[in-house]
Amino acid sequence: MKFKALKGIQDILPPETSGWQRIEAAAREIFKTYGFREIRLPVIESTEIFLRSIGETTDIVEKEMYTFTDKADRSVTLRPEGTAPFVRAFVEHHLFNEPPPQKFYYMGPMFRYERPQAGRQRQFHQIGVEALGVEDPKIDAEIISLLLLLLEKIGIKDAQCEVTSIGCVQCRPAFRAALKDFFKDRLGLFCDDCKRRYELNPLRILDCKVEACINGRQGAPSVIDFLCGDCTEHFNGVQYYLKLLSVPYTVNPGLVRGLDYYMRTAFEIKNYSLGAQNAVAAGGRYNGLVEEFGGPKIPGIGFAIGVERIVTLLTGLSDGHEGPDVFLCSLSSEAGEKTAVLAGQLRLEGLWVEISYDKSSLRSQMRRADRLRAKNVIVVGEDEMKSQTAVIKNMQDKTEISAALDAGEILRIIRGSK
């Protein structure tokens, strides 16, 4: 019988994992300088959390959730995104009692039951940040500039930042009405999904990826023209600080959030080599969500990066795994024991050490050292055991140095020759 991973759920193998490590390390490093701390959240939550937060008329809830009942007949869901579980934990553990802004980051797998295609998997990974407790547009700009700095650090070129305001509960109804008015006479042009969205959530027609719908919405009213005074002021503030922080951006009023709890600032980072539809990161402000989950009235803003998409943009990925620092060959069982002990001591010092596990010939051990691209080789046979010295062969510059069979001395020579 042959087993295979589930459809749309991928193994991540070396050398690609080195790209993942690079991204994660850069994220941790930068998040720390901005005062974000890691929060580790479960991948499974009660379904109610997502129905509440994401909204029942979104694609995610309508068709993409991995929902099932557990043995106690509870409806549970593999998280399709990170913000809702985060806010659940934020409220559950009263993290709002810490002085604002409360800043957290998370990384890990998310699950959506989509048709697998290039760049879209059913299990995918996100790195996200959430900052709560501050309404001031200065933090919106700071979060966006943090995101761009991170992408730059990872080595992503041509990251285009698009920003808009999507308004608030005060100003969205008028925009919604204007949109419905605009779409009313041309609804025939749109896909079936959009015809349904027209009744339930017409804003989402602006987000449809179907070409007929992209063409059909040319000339639709812009959300910017419907912003209330407070939203306008806030959006002006965001742009003021983006300029102050030298963040290049364009305003794209077409950005729509599939998630109902977003309001005001919305932003996406696109890289057009992935195609215009593919954002590598997206985020926005979600005032009201903490309250929805039973917490106090606290505003929040965050973003999530699609790690798979970032990885596809990284070029020239090497494993970072160049070859062991030392390969210890052994030619007798006594020598085999000695090399096992030495290997342990050297690994404790941070060297990558390989040994031989069988009684194979020196030639075959050397062949293995070669294939692994070992930087140094030490052969331990009967003579070396007697004299307790051995030769360290540097495989790169072909020099040879005699050394005592002692971890300290071997370490000194290898570190010196690096």
* Nearest approach, Cβ of residue 106 and Zn ion (Å): 29
**Residue from the set 146, 213, 259, 304 that interacts with Zn ion by CB under 5 A:** 213
Nearer to Zn ion, 21 or 170 (CB): 170
Q: d(Cα 317, Cα 22) in Å, to the nearest integer?
A: 10
For residue 365, how far is the Cα from the chain centroid? 40
Nearer to Zn ion, 55 or 82 (CB): 55
Q: d(Cα 128, Cα 310) in Å, to the nearest integer?
A: 13
Which alpha helices (DSSP H) does 330-397 contain, by range? Answer: 333-348, 362-371, 382-387
Contact 375, 326 (CB under 8 A): yes
Stretch that binds Zn ion, among 69-77, 168-176, 314-322, 325-333 (CB under 5 A): 168-176
- Report the Cα–Cα distance between both ends of the chain, in Å, rounded: 48
Q: Does 281 bind Zn ion (CB under 5 A)?
A: no
Nearer to Zn ion, 174 or 403 (CB): 174
Beta-strand relationship, 160-165 and 263-270: antiparallel
**Residue from the set 21, 170, 250, 361 that interacts with Zn ion by CB under 5 A:** 170
* Nearest approach, Cβ of residue 285 and Zn ion (Å): 11
Nearer to Zn ion, 289 or 385 (CB): 289
**Residue from the set 49, 210, 372, 413 that interacts with Zn ion by CB under 5 A:** 210
**Residue from the set 55, 167, 284, 336 that interacts with Zn ion by CB under 5 A:** 167
**Residue from the set 9, 168, 214, 403 that interacts with Zn ion by CB under 5 A:** 168
* Nearest approach, Cβ of residue 194 and Zn ion (Å): 3
Residues contacting residue 77 through CB under 8 Å, at least 6 positions apart:
44, 45, 46, 47, 49, 50, 65, 66, 67
Nearer to Zn ion, 227 or 392 (CB): 227
Residue 261 corresponds to which tokens in the numbers above?
């709890």
Residue 44 corresponds to which tokens in the numbers above?
């499974």
Q: Does 361 bind Zn ion (CB under 5 A)?
A: no
Cα maximum dimension of the chain: 94
Of 81, 72, 10, 9, the closest CA to residue 45 belongs to 81
Nearer to Zn ion, 211 or 397 (CB): 211
* Nearest approach, Cβ of residue 192 and Zn ion (Å): 8
Total of residues contacting Zn ion (CB under 5 A): 11
Instruction: Give backbone dihedrals phi and psi of 154, rounded to 5 degrees, phi first.
Output: -70, -25
Residue 415 corresponds to which tokens in the numbers above?
């570190």
Of 43, 59, 55, the closest CA to residue 110 belongs to 43
Q: Does 171 bind Zn ion (CB under 5 A)?
A: yes
The contact pattern for Zn ion, residues 189-208, with x = CB under 5 A and - = no contact, is: --x--x-------------x
Q: Which of residues 228-257 bind Zn ion (CB under 5 A)?
A: 228, 231
Task: Give long-range contacts, CB 8 A cutoff, 24+ apart: 346-354.
Answer: 346/407, 346/410, 346/411, 349/407, 349/411, 351/325, 351/326, 351/411, 351/414, 352/323, 352/324, 352/325, 352/326, 353/324, 353/325, 353/326, 353/327, 353/328, 354/324, 354/326, 354/327, 354/328
* Nearest approach, Cβ of residue 299 and Zn ion (Å): 13
Nearer to Zn ion, 32 or 209 (CB): 209
Stretch that binds Zn ion, among 75-83, 135-143, 226-234, 324-332 (CB under 5 A): 226-234
Stretch that binds Zn ion, among 211-219, 269-277, 387-395, 407-415 (CB under 5 A): 211-219
Nearer to Zn ion, 212 or 404 (CB): 212
Nearer to Zn ion, 156 or 171 (CB): 171
Contact 394, 375 (CB under 8 A): yes
* Nearest approach, Cβ of residue 208 and Zn ion (Å): 3
Nearer to Zn ion, 207 or 384 (CB): 207
Binding site for Zn ion (CB under 5 A): 167-168, 170-171, 191, 194, 208, 210, 213, 228, 231
